[in-house]
Structure 1
């Protein structure tokens, strides 16, 4: 039997987290990739999508993070073989619940950091590439708070 895997993405907006996920899923083949996208892929950003447009609302952030975590846990409770959390996860506490739930439900956990959040050139690249028009000032603020493993 194949081991169950939980992947937790980390990185600044525009770092390439979703790009990495899409490339990873392509390697699995179209059928499995589609299945994971429908049943095992979780991003708090998706809750801000309204009629195909991203509409961020800071008042809803906490509620949407909780809904995303709940959906992630429910997928594992349903024995989805692969689950992915595609959030920025700037601080360790932001993904601790995902990691703890995955481990308690028998999943291997892989935390994937994309880019170098503390590197200024990387921050500038993130500003150019992020799909939600997050400005450099906000990227810098997030980068300053970004907790790296020692």
Structure 2
């Protein structure tokens, strides 16, 4: 009788302010995971889902608050579809500062048999961290917006 090896499936939910290093962390994780999977002869299957991708038109980021809710729904749907297709590693790369922002991702992952990992970058309520994030975020989110976002952060 042949032993069946069950590959664990993992859903990673990123949390942090713009500029905190979420996307950098994701790129490093994906690169390492792809190398590891290729070395073991396993096809590399890691998918990243970010609401920001829907705001990119012809390579230019154009945020529109009126489309935010719609694009968050698109992102959640794509995340769930990937898990339904048994993609081994799925990542939600959004800010997820309030608990309600990622609860649907977490609930879907659990329901579909995924281990959930919450990966928080920095301390969103810390002023020094907010200053760093305001300087280095790629969407030019100003410090006053970063501070406001930090003030709504909820620990899980």
TM-score over 0.5 for the pair = yes
Change (3 A) 1:34 1:50: farther
Partner of 1:45: 52
Mapped contact 1:26–1:33 kept (Cα < 8 A): no
Q: Which has the larger share of helix?
A: 1
1:5-24 C-alpha deviation (Å, 9 max, x unpaired): 00000000000000111111
Partner of 2:27: 22
State the secondary structure of the residue aligned to 2:13: strand
Moved over 6 A (4+): none
Partner of 1:114: 121
Unaligned 5+ runs, structure 2 = 1-5
Unaligned 5+ runs, structure 1 = none
1:19-57 C-alpha deviation (Å, 9 max, x unpaired): 111111121235689742xxx210000000000000000
Change (3 A) 1:142 1:33: farther
Q: How far apart, in 2, do the equivalents of 1:19 and 1:60 lie?
A: 25
Q: How far apart, in 2, do the equivalents of 1:12 and 1:33 lie?
A: 32
Q: How far apart, in 2, do the equivalents of 1:33 and 1:89 lie?
A: 30
Superposed CA RMSD in Å reads 1.5
Mapped contact 1:42–1:84 kept (Cα < 8 A): yes
Mapped contact 1:90–1:142 kept (Cα < 8 A): yes
Partner of 2:106: 99
Partner of 2:146: 139
State the secondary structure of the residue aligned to 1:6: strand
Q: How far apart, in 2, do the equivalents of 1:115 and 1:86 lie?
A: 15
Aligned length, in residue pairs: 146
More displaced, 20-29 or 94-103? 20-29
Q: How far apart, in 2, do the equivalents of 1:33 and 1:24 lie?
A: 16
